[in-house]
């Protein structure tokens, strides 16, 4: 009995250690499982742009050009090309999505897009700086 208990404790610690050292991250893992392509470091990546009027104005302009048709003018997931079956995830103001979407995660969702439900890849039509500007703007639409 004691030996079984000791082995169990050992296994639990080993799993916890491997998980911690391999950079396992629940938010990134969950996003990947639902079809997004995110590097393991996505959550830690910092927005290189300053949050100021110029960045936000550039981000807003690009958002209206590239994202509005699906996500709507205020990011509520109500654009003309919105996928209504996935409204909860398309609503960028939905407070349930805030914690799972730090800057770096949003960057890669936009950069790499998603197959199903479909969101276009933007890495082949925008620069990194443009995507970071969009990220800066999108984060101002979110509610805590
Ligand atoms: C063709 C329609 C379409 C366009 C254009 C589009 N998206 Fe999306 N987007 C979607 C769909 C559909 C989802 C929901 C995916 C899901 O359910 O997993 C989504 C999800 C997202 C999410 C994740 C929300 C979450 O809760 O995880 C972010 C962030 C996002 N879009 C940002 C953008 C930005 C920024 C742009 C413009 C650069 C953009 N999208 C353009 C269709 C689109």
122: which 2 tokens? Answer: 């933007």
- Give the phi and the psi of residue 15 in degrees, each rounded to 5: -60, -45
Per-residue pLDDT tens for 23-69? 456 667 777 778 999 999 999 999 999 999 999 999 999 999 999 99
Using a 6 Å cutoff on CB, does residue 134 contact ligand 1?
Answer: yes
C-alpha 72/C-alpha 34 separation (Å) is 23
DSSP state of 115: T
Residue nearest to atom 40 of ligand 1 (CA): 67
Residue nearest to atom 23 of ligand 1 (CA): 89
The residue segments making up the domain with residue 105 are 26-141
**Mean pLDDT taken over the chain:** 88
Q: Confirm whether 117 is domain-assigned.
A: yes
Based on C-alpha coordinates, what's the Rg of the chain? 19
Q: How many domains does the chain have?
A: 1
Q: Confirm whether 105 is domain-assigned.
A: yes
Q: How many CA atoms lie within 13 A of 82 on its CB side?
A: 20
Instruction: Residue 137: give its domain's CATH number.
Output: 1.10.760.10
Expressed in angstroms and rounded, the spacing between residue 4 Cα and the centre of ligand 1 is: 49
Note the pTM of the prediction, 2 decimals.
Answer: 0.85
Tell which residue, 60, 114, 61, 47, has the closest CA to residue 86.
114
């Amino acid at each position: 009995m004691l030996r079984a208990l000791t082995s169990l404790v050992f296994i639990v610690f080993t799993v916890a250690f491997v998980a911690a050292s391999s950079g396992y991250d629940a938010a990134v893992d969950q996003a990947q499982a639902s079809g997004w392509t995110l590097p393991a470091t996505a959550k830690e990546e910092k927005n290189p742009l300053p949050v100021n009027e110029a960045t936000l104005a550039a981000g807003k302009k690009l958002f209206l050009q590239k994202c509005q048709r699906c996500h709507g003018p205020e990011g509520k997931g109500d654009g003309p090309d919105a996928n209504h079956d996935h409204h909860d995830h398309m609503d960028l103001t939905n407070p349930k999505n805030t914690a799972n979407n730090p800057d770096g995660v949003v960057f890669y969702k936009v950069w790499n897009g998603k197959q199903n439900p479909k969101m276009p890849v933007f890495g082949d039509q925008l620069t990194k700086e443009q995507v970071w500007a969009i990220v800066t703007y999108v984060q101002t639409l979110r509610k805590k």
